[in-house]
Amino acid sequence: MAKIVLGIGTSHGPMLSTPWKEWGQRVGFDRQNPLHDFRGRKLTFDQLVALRKDEGLAEQIAEEKWRARHAACQAAIETLADRFHAVKPDVAVIVGNDQKELFTEDNFPAFTVFWGPTIENRPRTPEQTAKLPPGVAVAERGHAPPEDAVYDGQPSLGRHIIESLMADEFDVSQSERLPKGSGYANGIPHAYGFVYRRIMRDRVIPNVPVILNTFYPPNQPSALRCYKFGKALKRAIESWPDDRTVAVFASGGLSHFVIDEPLDEQVLAALQANDYDSLISIPEDRYQAGTSEIKNWIPVAAVMAECGLKMTRVDYVPCYRSMAGTGNAMGFVYWD
């Protein structure tokens, strides 16, 4: 039977793969966004600046802060990668999300399991790259290889997970072939490409992508549903009859596109303590926009709690880029 031997939780935001001197590229886009989600409200950039004027955010966007936080993030990523390669699992299950890279308004499944034999990850064409907003193209190397890459899926485990989840009353969608999506990307979403490139260091083991719709109402799974999904996912993996070791990844988060440090600390403390009640008590209106990606961590937390693996907090790095508090709070943990 399969054995879960490792869990990894990592942020995957573009700032992780952007030189720190260029973190400000996205601020113009932040200013134009009229609907920043923050603590249950939708606010303009100027409203956020006024609301957060007493938080000392000018100090948070000083160059020395950017340099130090970028370095801390790179060190944390290397720690996770070192741990992955030291454990050498046979197979991975990666819980992430899609941002209209695969799915569009035609169909947004709440839960999808990919069980195809191959997984494509290709760089954007020059035409696609030219259409990207500022601050995105510079980070492409963090999740997209310089040349076309095709990795091994794990169809046997993927199908087994689907059948087990269905028997556990989770009516998941399934895919043997990556949808073409909106043409925004060429293959697997960046949530998975980041794991392949930065944590697996392009030495990609056979894996099963599990895709959650964290971003797009009205069918976002609740935090409670995500936790129950994780418990069912653990049962599915461990009932796979192959004698393989398995790593389970959570890719995404923490709070963004507006950083909320108290929320992140609540989440990390709950993960450390296996505090299920605290995780699901966070109001759903806090799990919106990029912060919704914390829900990718919740199923993995449930898997690890059920397995009895202990969490090590590698680092938490709030990477602010503006006086409004926009940016990405980065989290890095592993369970073994």
Residue 303 has pLDDT above 90, yes or no: yes
From the CB of residue 138, how many other CB atoms can be counted at a distance below 10 Å? 18
In this prediction, residue 268 has a pLDDT band, given cuts at 50, 70 and 90, of very high
Work out the mean pLDDT of the chain and round it to a whole number: 96
Closest to 301 in 3D by CA, of 236, 245, 233: 233
pLDDT at 244: 98
CA distances 316 to 59, 87, 167, 194, Å, are: 18, 23, 37, 18
Angle at CA of residue 70, ends 278 and 123, nearest 5°: 95
Close Cβ partners of 292 (under 8 Å, ≥ 6 residues apart) = 97, 214, 215, 220
pLDDT at 166: 98
Distance, CA of 269 to CA of 282 (rounded, Å)? 13
Paired with 36 in beta bridges are 43
Residue 127 has pLDDT above 90, yes or no: no
In this prediction, residue 278 has a pLDDT band, given cuts at 50, 70 and 90, of very high
Contact at 8 Å (CB) between 99 and 189?
A: yes
Distance, CA of 99 to CA of 55 (rounded, Å)? 31
Quote the distance between the C-alpha of residue 206 and its chain's center.
19
In this prediction, residue 204 has a pLDDT band, given cuts at 50, 70 and 90, of very high
pLDDT at 129: 87
- 79-114 pLDDT, tens digit per residue, is 999 999 999 999 999 999 999 999 999 999 999 999
In this prediction, residue 133 has a pLDDT band, given cuts at 50, 70 and 90, of confident
99: tokens are 């941002």
C-alpha torsion angle, residues 141, 255, 114, 78 (rounded to 10): 50
In this prediction, residue 280 has a pLDDT band, given cuts at 50, 70 and 90, of very high
- Higher-confidence residue of 184 and 167: namely 167
Average pLDDT on 209-235 reads: 98
Close Cβ partners of 288 (under 8 Å, ≥ 6 residues apart) = 37
Residue 183 has pLDDT above 90, yes or no: no
Single-letter residue type at 21 = K
Distance, CA of 90 to CA of 87 (rounded, Å)? 9
From the CB of residue 88, how many other CB atoms can be counted at a distance below 10 Å? 11
Closest to 145 in 3D by CA, of 184, 100, 198: 198
Close Cβ partners of 17 (under 8 Å, ≥ 6 residues apart) = 138, 139, 140, 141, 142, 143, 194, 198
C-alpha torsion angle, residues 216, 262, 294, 64 (rounded to 10): 100
Distance, CA of 15 to CA of 73 (rounded, Å)? 10
Residue 195 has pLDDT above 80, yes or no: yes
Residue 64 has pLDDT above 90, yes or no: yes
Average pLDDT on 194-211 reads: 98
pLDDT at 135: 83
Contact at 8 Å (CB) between 120 and 149?
A: yes
pLDDT at 137: 87
In this prediction, residue 190 has a pLDDT band, given cuts at 50, 70 and 90, of very high
Q: What is the DSSP string of 280-306?
A: HHS-GGGS-GGGGGHHHHHHHHHHHHH
Closest to 155 in 3D by CA, of 250, 243, 95, 240: 240
pLDDT at 319: 98
Residue 130 has pLDDT above 90, yes or no: no
Distance, CA of 161 to CA of 233 (rounded, Å)? 7
Is 0.95 topped by the overall pTM? yes
Q: Where are the alpha helices (DSSP H) in 4-147?
A: 27-32, 45-51, 57-60, 63-87, 126-130
pLDDT at 72: 98
Single-letter residue type at 103 = F
Measured between alpha carbons, how far apart are the two ends of the chain, in Å? 18
In this prediction, residue 174 has a pLDDT band, given cuts at 50, 70 and 90, of very high
In this prediction, residue 50 has a pLDDT band, given cuts at 50, 70 and 90, of very high
pLDDT at 309: 97
Distance, CA of 174 to CA of 83 (rounded, Å)? 31
Residue 132 has pLDDT above 90, yes or no: no
Residue 184 has pLDDT above 80, yes or no: no
Distance, CA of 271 to CA of 301 (rounded, Å)? 6
In the chain, the domains with their CATH numbers are 3-335 (3.40.830.10)
